[in-house]
Structure 1
């Protein structure tokens, strides 16, 4: 087996470099065949992966290892699927998480210990198909894939404001990146106006005149481990769309508290749509985010579906509470 390894050295405020040093020592000790490739900018992983997919797609002895955060993994999967060869024969992926949130690792069951995550890859005898989300924006004629979430409204505005803040890099260096999101959320909560949202599923339509939180999820987690879709699992083919409307300030703060307590999805304020095909539109410009990557401020006309992607990694399923 040959391992092509894409490394984002600045992931997690520089944690990518130290993670790679640990992994490299283990690979050398095991005398494994590998080629390291380092990203140089935000779009570097996509470009590197497209080249790899064109060269190696379809080879049974090739595995692509990603060392980075959720954003790096997002870019790699989209890079493979933007390549013609990659779409026909996706390169199996193994993931070693070292980002700020690591939500996909939680959803899949990947250890945040680099050596344990590496052994999950090396111990895998076969590939495992994993559900990923696909979106098509009819207005921009844009297609893409997501592994975690696609959000518009509140969470996307928080992502945009956090990325523009001066405190993010400082907190990332201290490995406190999650606090940069919390610190921006209160400002977004005050500024973000509700918007009109139309959701269509099969032949039914539902109008939400005061939508505030709109998150499509592929697994339970968002924002560094908060459960926003507790019933989702990467082995199942469905996505879940959560819609929460804005009410008076008292209820708005209560919904935020429910979100922090991981109870929002099952509260009476949540509207949940589950399926393999979802369609929703807005009549106003709204912030969007996909796997924590900014989509910009845009009118939204999105069709969501699912696809399957092969991972070569032993999956550690989340432990379920015993029923007495």
Structure 2
């Protein structure tokens, strides 16, 4: 196989640049054929992936697009490839803050091991990908991890603006950046109204929504289990809705969230389906795969598709 490698040198607060130097040495030792491009600005990976897709449009059987960066870089690359109607397999070397996709798929957090997982692959694996359409903005996109509105999106916004994130990334504690912002958001975040429509047409109204997260696999925020029953190999998404109640119940819900048990709490409502539709009635922060979507009203329809991924899974090896 030949590889087109997209590197985000700023991922993980600059840690990805050092990781790429180590990976490059290993690739050269093994005489792997590759070409590399680096991202220079937010959204650049979308454009780079589109160009690669067009250049190697007829080489899906022999060419892989590899990402060295964080979940955000992977998110952009996936969207660029799908935008170009590409079927080039996608590989990933985790070098960001959260690296949640790596956990969901079964990739090592050690970059050299993750590289070997890509090199060991013999064929692509089809994984589930979330797709959203916002009827208000007439906007669509794809996500690998989560699409969140409200609480988690506000945490992402504050964490991205925090200087503490860089310090924690240097110590490989990116998940604490997420957690460290939670209390501030908890105090300031106002509840909002959400309407969820099921496939049978039944409507559920949640007037005091606090947490609203659609997940494609278990992890969020650098390793917290938000949807422990979800999998990249299923054709469903899980929508978790939690309403704001008194402070005691709210803190209890956050404790359950940290322990990976919130979706089984009696204070949470879960919808699991291959198609979801929900509407918010106030301006709220939103995020997808840790990428900020801004503050907005949302009329979202979510469904799923599949995309080829290139890499062996540690979960499969453990099972075998």
Shorter-normalised TM-score: what interval?
A: over 0.9
Q: Which residue of 2 aligns with 1:80?
A: 81
The answer as to whether partners of 1:13 and 1:169 remain within 8 angstroms in 2 is: yes
Q: Secondary structure at the match of 2:295?
A: strand
Q: Which residue of 1 aligns with 2:55?
A: 55
Deviation at 1:28, TM superposition (A): 0.8
Deviation at 1:320, TM superposition (A): 8.7
Q: Which residue of 1 aligns with 2:244?
A: 246
Find runs of 4+ consecutive structure 1 residues off by over 4 angstroms: 318-321
Q: Which residue of 1 aligns with 2:298?
A: 300
Q: Which residue of 2 aligns with 1:279?
A: 277
Q: Runs of 5+ in structure 2 lacking a partner?
A: none
1-side partners of 2:62 and 2:317: how far apart? 32
Matched, 1:214 2:245: no
* Coordinate RMSD, CA, aligned: 1.5
For residues 2 and 319 of structure 1, do their structure 2 counterparts lie closer, same or farther at Cα, with a shift above 3 Å needed? closer
Q: Which residue of 2 aligns with 1:28?
A: 28
TM-score (norm 2): 0.96
2-side partners of 1:34 and 1:254: how far apart? 50
1-side partners of 2:49 and 2:127: how far apart? 19
Q: Runs of 5+ in structure 1 lacking a partner?
A: none
The answer as to whether partners of 2:174 and 2:222 remain within 8 angstroms in 1 is: no
41-50 or 134-143, larger mean C-alpha shift: 41-50
Matched, 1:230 2:215: no
The answer as to whether partners of 1:58 and 1:90 remain within 8 angstroms in 2 is: no
For residues 185 and 67 of structure 1, do their structure 2 counterparts lie closer, same or farther at Cα, with a shift above 3 Å needed? same
Matched, 1:14 2:14: yes
Q: Which residue of 1 aligns with 2:136?
A: 139
Deviation at 1:319, TM superposition (A): 8.7
2-side partners of 1:103 and 1:293: how far apart? 13
Q: Secondary structure at the match of 1:317?
A: helix
Deviation at 1:178, TM superposition (A): 2.6
In the alignment, which of 168, 188, 191 is matched to residue 188 of structure 2? 191
Q: Secondary structure at the match of 1:48?
A: helix
Alignment map for 1:36-185 (pairs within 5 Å): 36-59=36-59, 60-83=61-84, 87=85, 89-185=86-182
Deviation at 1:318, TM superposition (A): 6.9
Q: Secondary structure at the match of 2:55?
A: helix
2-side partners of 1:319 and 1:256: how far apart? 33
2-side partners of 1:98 and 1:65: how far apart? 12
The answer as to whether partners of 2:63 and 2:89 remain within 8 angstroms in 1 is: yes
